[in-house]
């Protein structure tokens, strides 16, 4: 903010404070506010639109438009220029409003004569409360300073609205009642039911306008120093003393708390004439608006962390202590940082967030604490109130807010059935995954974090068929060095004991970007510069990881798998690098594995037709079902419109997979299948019928898969699958009818 903009906003805010001190009800205050803003901004029109419900804006006060339009004119979110501002949470300005894209003609307002238009969202903590607009007849461009002043004023109006000072009886009615369902993404397994505890601090700010800017700056800096001390103390918690990714996450979180740019933006906001609390909320709202437009997963996670830190800073400024959630509550928030989650983790039963990702910082901590977590449950924060009953289902990625009794009963029944099923799975844990006719399968688990490895024993997995090494790189702010990597690989192997661990080398690119590497813009990143292609083009990085894997293994057996191999020369080159590094370390006297298994992930159709030399050279081949299926069907698995258009038990797909199994068998390559389909019992049975015997899946899927496998006759399943493929039909219907008719647990 420029000095002149700060002076302008402070003058306007002083006049608004006088208005607030004058007698009158909410409507009278709104009317006076529009007159003051119009006069100060030299605008012929000033209007305030407020939300009546989740989708509707109402003109609640105006200076310049037809008075009869007040409380009559309504706009849907996204409708007209005002609706666009509310929907996008962004300012909008134009010198030719009637011809601007999306302009909505409302004859009752008489605004068609006004060409110049500038509007900003009235928002608080990411919640859109309305829109503030100024207009003029003559064409003119509202400059950045004027928009900045409008944003400061809108922030103050938001504080007034939230405090009830603008209540006009008919304005905003956001009362929530009735059930609300949110479909999200399961980021930490498990399920729970409990009362809602909202994460957002409800800070009441009686006077949002600052009297003494310098003393307010000092108050802000003192609160910031206290916040940094608080974050430093978080790292002394017992959970973090053993290291692991959740420790790395909190180290990164601490770095954000010491970010100089954040303090500078807060300082500038105070200079505009608002108290420190409003300054924090203003910067926080701007960060949230950016969050909605950021594609980079690391930058999104950084904004989530700043959001959490802002909430902590607000509590410091107000002197309020965050009320601890009731024991067994479900924490609900737009974004919840790892620090907040770590502090309340022992009290809560589950977490529901509107933002976040399965690989995000909060998810890493939630899995370390064994707390069910659902992310991307959009709309839940606006609908929830403290104390509402909510069901969080981390397995299905769903949240049921204020559920009807029928849903509660069904969920209770589901939990009871799941509890009984868990007892059955526990009884099978140490038994082999062997069919009734003697076919023996190997069921492994997927992992990507040190904390995931503890599921090995309780899940009954025979090993880790896929360890995603890139997650260690993604949760850090800087590249982990060779020794740091080796220490983590060593710890994983120590925890696994005599069970096999297959380490997949860095699979970055596509939707997985390292925060400390320049992002490469690509038209189609899923088929671009990623995984082994990236590693071969950056051999120093690949060599460093391979050296770390070898050092971490020491003299123990090591299994390494290269991802996204698209032609056998890539595998030959990557394999050569690994063997070269092993021999080089051995020559220096460093203990290295005598036995190194080197395999490849088969994720593109091209590798199904690779020369026999590839299958002979590879010690093992792991079919990466998720990527391979999307390329086989030309259906982006990240696109909801097409990702469900194909059937994993369709005849073409099964024929294709059977051909891969035959090639591996003919050339002596060990074969496994890794992907979502591996964790679904019916699909696993079909794959076993095609000749697959080795599978890797999420830990929670091992019990259900093993139960079906031990009850099934594989020869019968093979016959059913073969007939379905021959008839050109999906095997799903036939397998399901046979399984149910035979009393199998599907």
Task: Kindly list the catalytic residues.
Answer: 361, 674
Compute and round to an integer the Cα radius of gyration of the chain: 30
Contact (Cβ atoms closer than 8 angstroms) between residue 708 and residue 441: no
Helix H or strand E segment including 94 = strand 92-94
Specify the residue for token string 């901004």: 41
Q: What whole-number distance in Å separates Cα of residue 660 and Cα of residue 203?
A: 61
Tokens 């992930």 sit on residue: 601
Distance CA 197, CA 390 (A): 10
DSSP letter for each residue of 184-208:
-EEEE--EEEEEEEE-S-----S--
Q: Which residues pair with 596 in a beta bridge?
A: 558
Using an 8 Å Cβ cutoff, are 126 and 283 in contact?
no
Rounded to the nearest 10 degrees, the angle between the axes of helix 702-711 and helix 681-689 is: 50
Question: How much of the chain is helix, strand and coil, in % rounded to 5?
Answer: 50, 20, 35
Q: Is the separation of the CB atoms in 528 and 522 below 8 Å?
A: yes
Q: What contacts 505, CB < 8 A, 6 or more positions away?
A: 469, 532, 535, 542, 545, 546, 549, 560, 561, 562, 563, 574
| Residue linked to tokens 């207009």 | 135
Position of tokens 């035979």? 742
Stated as kind and residue range, the H or E segment containing 543 is helix 539-553
What span, in angstroms and rounded, lies between the C-alpha atoms of 542 and 537? 9
- Cβ atoms of 685 and 715 closer than 8 Å: no
Give the three-class secondary structure for 28: helix
In this structure, what are the phi and psi dihedrals at residue 709, rounded to the nearest 5 degrees? -60, -45
Separation CA 473–CA 582 (nearest Å): 23
Q: Which phi and psi (to 5°) does residue 52 adopt?
A: -90, -35
């Amino acid at each position: 903010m420029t000095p002149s903009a700060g002076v302008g906003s402070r003058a306007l805010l002083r006049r608004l404070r006088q208005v607030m001190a004058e007698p009158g009800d909410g409507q009278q205050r709104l009317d006076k506010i529009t007159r003051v803003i119009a006069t100060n901004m030299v605008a012929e029109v000033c209007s305030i639109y407020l939300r009546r419900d989740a989708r509707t804006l109402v003109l609640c006060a105006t200076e310049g438009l037809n008075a009869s339009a007040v409380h009559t004119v309504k706009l849907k979110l996204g409708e007209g220029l005002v609706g666009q501002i509310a929907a996008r949470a962004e300012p909008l300005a134009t010198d030719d409003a009637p011809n601007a894209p999306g302009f909505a003609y409302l004859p009752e307002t008489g605004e068609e004569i006004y060409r110049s238009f500038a509007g900003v969202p009235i928002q608080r903590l990411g919640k859109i409360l309305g829109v503030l607009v100024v207009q003029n007849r003559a064409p003119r461009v509202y400059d950045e300073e004027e928009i900045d002043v409008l944003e400061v004023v809108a922030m103050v109006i938001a504080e007034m609205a939230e405090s009830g000072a603008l209540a006009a009886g008919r304005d905003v009615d956001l009362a929530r009642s009735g059930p609300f369902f949110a479909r999200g993404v399961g980021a930490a397994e498990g399920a729970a039911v409990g009362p809602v505890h909202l994460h957002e601090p409800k800070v009441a700010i009686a006077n949002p306008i600052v009297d003494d800017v310098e003393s307010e700056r000092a108050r802000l800096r003192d609160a910031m120093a206290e916040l940094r001390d608080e974050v430093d103390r978080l790292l002394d918690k017992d959970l973090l003393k053993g290291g692991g990714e959740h420790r790395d996450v909190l180290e990164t979180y601490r770095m954000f708390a010491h970010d100089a740019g954040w303090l500078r933006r807060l300082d500038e906001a105070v200079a505009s004439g608002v108290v420190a609390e409003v300054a924090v909320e203003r910067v926080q709202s701007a960060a949230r608006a950016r969050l909605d437009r950021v594609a980079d997963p690391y930058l999104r996670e950084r904004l989530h962390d700043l959001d959490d830190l802002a909430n902590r800073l607000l509590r410091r400024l107000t002197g309020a202590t965050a009320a601890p959630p009731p024991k067994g509550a479900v924490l609900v928030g737009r974004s919840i940082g790892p620090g907040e989650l770590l502090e309340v983790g022992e009290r809560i039963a589950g977490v529901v967030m509107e933002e976040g990702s399965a690989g995000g910082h909060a998810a890493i901590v939630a899995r370390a604490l064994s707390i069910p977590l659902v992310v991307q449950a959009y709309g839940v924060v606006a609908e929830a109130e403290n104390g509402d009953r909510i069901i969080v289902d981390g397995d299905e990625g769903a949240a049921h807010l204020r559920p009807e009794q029928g849903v509660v009963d069904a969920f209770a029944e589901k939990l009871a059935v799941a509890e009984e099923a868990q007892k059955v799975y526990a009884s099978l844990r140490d038994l082999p995954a062997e069919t009734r006719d003697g076919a023996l399968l190997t069921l492994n688990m997927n992992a990507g974090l040190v904390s995931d490895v503890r599921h090995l024993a309780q899940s009954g997995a025979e090993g880790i068929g896929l360890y995603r090494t890139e997650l260690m790189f993604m949760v850090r702010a800087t590249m982990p060095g060779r020794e740091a990597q080796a220490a983590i690989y060593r710890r994983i192997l120590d925890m696994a004991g005599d069970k096999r661990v297959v380490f997949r080398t860095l699979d970055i690119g596509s939707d997985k970007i390292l925060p400390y590497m320049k992002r490469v813009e690509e038209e189609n990143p899923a088929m671009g510069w990623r995984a082994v292609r990236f590693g071969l083009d950056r051999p120093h990085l690949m060599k460093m990881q391979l050296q770390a894997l070898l050092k971490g293994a020491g003299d123990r057996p090591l299994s390494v798998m290269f991802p996204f191999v698209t032609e056998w020369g890539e595998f030959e080159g990557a394999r050569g690098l690994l063997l070269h590094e092993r021999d080089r370390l051995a020559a220096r006297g460093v203990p290295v594995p005598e036995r190194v298994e080197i395999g490849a992930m088969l994720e593109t159709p091209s590798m199904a037709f690779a020369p026999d030399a590839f299958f002979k050279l590879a010690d093992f081949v792991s079919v990466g079902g998720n990527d391979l299926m999307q390329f086989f069907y030309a259906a982006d698995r990240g696109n909801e419109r097409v990702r469900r258009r194909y059937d994993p038990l369709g005849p073409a797909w099964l024929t294709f997979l059977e051909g891969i199994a035959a090639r591996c068998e003919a050339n002596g390559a060990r074969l496994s299948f890794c992907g979502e389909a591996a964790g679904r019992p019916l699909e696993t049975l079909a794959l076993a019928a095609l000749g697959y015997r080795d599978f890797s899946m999420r830990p929670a899927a091992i019990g259900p898969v093993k139960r079906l496998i031990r009850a099934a006759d594989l020869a019968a399943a093979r016959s059913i699958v073969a007939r379905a493929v021959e008839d050109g039909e999906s095997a799903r219907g036939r397998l399901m009818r046979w399984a149910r008719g035979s009393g199998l647990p599907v």
